Amino acid sequence: MDIAPLQHVHIAVVVPAYEAERTIAQVVASIPRIVRTVIVVADGCRDGTVGIVGDVSRTDPRVVLEVHEQNRGVGAATRTGYVRALALGADVVVKMDADGQMDPDYLPQLVLPIVLGQADYAKGNRFLRPRSLRQMPRLRMIGNVALSFMSKVSSGYWNVLDPTNGYTAISREALSLMDLVGVDERYFFESSMLVQLGLIRAVVADVPLPSRYGDEESHLSLAHSVVSFSAKHTRYFVWRMVYRYLLTDFSPVSLLLLTSIPLTLFGTVFGMRSWLRSVLYAVPATAGTVMLAAFTTAGGLLCLLQAMIYDIMSVPQRPISPPRLRLVPVRSDAGADSG
């Protein structure tokens, strides 16, 4: 693709770095020249990361160094970079990890939906490229599938896959509207970003991007992330339902939720109580008791299913960010006319 028009857009790249002395110089050097600002956030690094970035900044004026004296997590480091990028006037802010797994050659494709005004937030998706997907470790792929489903439920972005992919881009408008304080400071950062974006009704685009897997060691335990992320996804889901459908809006989903929850709870509790009573006292439940438990439970689940369908249909479609460039089609007969 022609990247010349992108040079008129202020693109900033935020690189959260922790113990990255082996890869940080190569990552910064590989960032394309259309990027005007590179913000490296050294998050409590005890190795030589800070010194290496300092040396790089002397030869590359794009590089800006932010230092956290204590390790606060990838989310906190990215948030620091976001704030600095906004202060420097960036139009689009890309987040790229310091381990070298994210191919900088695909950065123009990542920012294109935003600069064209088609999306407010773009993220890489490894599942849209089957060939590159084969390079992903199988256990990591299974974990990502499970996390993708949980993220759909908690964020409301049912059209988005691969939520833990950290190769992302966001517009200045969306970043300014977001509650950055509410973003998770640790490895749940990417998923919590989707939840916060959903609250401002931002449009999210999936961009097919491959990842490169080398001999680097991940700081994230897959088993621990699935367990801990499940609790966080549940909490964010409840908060999204209350905020979206009860506090800021009242829609058919609100009525369905208010109907389904009491019906399901009553049917389940009443049915279990009646069943236990029948077992303990050897007294068969009456047909009316069985029907009451069954119908209330089924009615509640049906209302919940209908609410989920409405929720899937309400994925944001209209971006809040304006286009920053327009693609002008080239006439195929231009050469013939000139002759």
pLDDT of residue 338: 46
Which two tokens mark 263? 């019906």
Query: What pLDDT score does 40 carry?
Result: 96
* Domain region containing 121: 4-220
Q: CA separation (Å) from 180 to 7, 48, 85, 257?
A: 28, 29, 13, 29
Nearest Cα to 76, choosing from 17, 27, 151? 17
Is the domain of 271 the same as that of 213?
Answer: no
In a domain, 236, yes or no: no
Asked whether residue 297 falls in the same domain as residue 172, the answer is no
- The residue to which tokens 């881009």 are assigned: 169
- Assigned domain for 306 exists: yes
Using CA atoms, how far apart are residues 35 and 3, in angstroms rounded to an integer? 11
Query: Which pLDDT does position 210 carry in this prediction?
Result: 73
pLDDT at 339: 43
Domains of the chain: total:
2
b/e map 136-145, b = 16+ CB within 10 Å: beeebeebbe
Candidates 183, 181, 316, 192; CA nearest to 244 is: 316
The neighbouring-strand residues paired with 267 are none
CA atoms within 13 A on the CB side of 120: 22
Same domain, 270 and 195: no
212 and 286 share one domain: no
Dist. CA 184–CA 190, nearest whole Å? 8
As a whole number of angstroms, the distance between CA 251 and CA 63 comes to: 48
Instruction: Say if 143 falls within a structural domain.
Output: yes
Contacts of 225 (CB under 8 A, 6+ apart): 143, 147, 187
Convert the pLDDT of each residue in 237-260 to its tens digit: 989 988 888 888 888 889 999 999
SS (H, E, C) 80-109: HHHHHHHHCCCCEEEECCCCCCECHHHHHH
Token pair, residue 175, equals 């970043």
pLDDT tens, position by position, 92-106? 999 999 988 888 999
The rounded radius of gyration (Å) of the Cα atoms in the chain is 24
Q: Is residue 228 situated within a structural domain? A: no
Tokens of 226: 């699935």
pLDDT in tens, 218-230: 555 556 666 778 8
Tell me how far apart the alpha carbons of residues 117 and 323 are, in angstroms, rounded to a whole number: 4
Residue carrying structure tokens 């800006």: 64
Q: Assign 223 to helix, strand or coil.
A: helix
Euclidean distance between CA atoms 259 and 327, whole angstroms: 48
Low-confidence ranges of the chain (pLDDT < 50): 216, 334-339
Kindly state whether residue 332 falls inside one of the protein's structural domains.
no
Shared domain check, 141 and 77? yes
Nearest of 265, 266, 260 to residue 300 by alpha carbon: 260
In degrees, to the nearest 5, what angle opens at C-alpha 41 toward C-alphas 38 and 45?
Answer: 140
What DSSP designation does 83 have? H
Question: Does residue 235 lie within any of the structural domains?
Answer: no
CATH code of the domain covering residue 139:
3.90.550.10
Per-residue model confidence (pLDDT) at position 111: 95
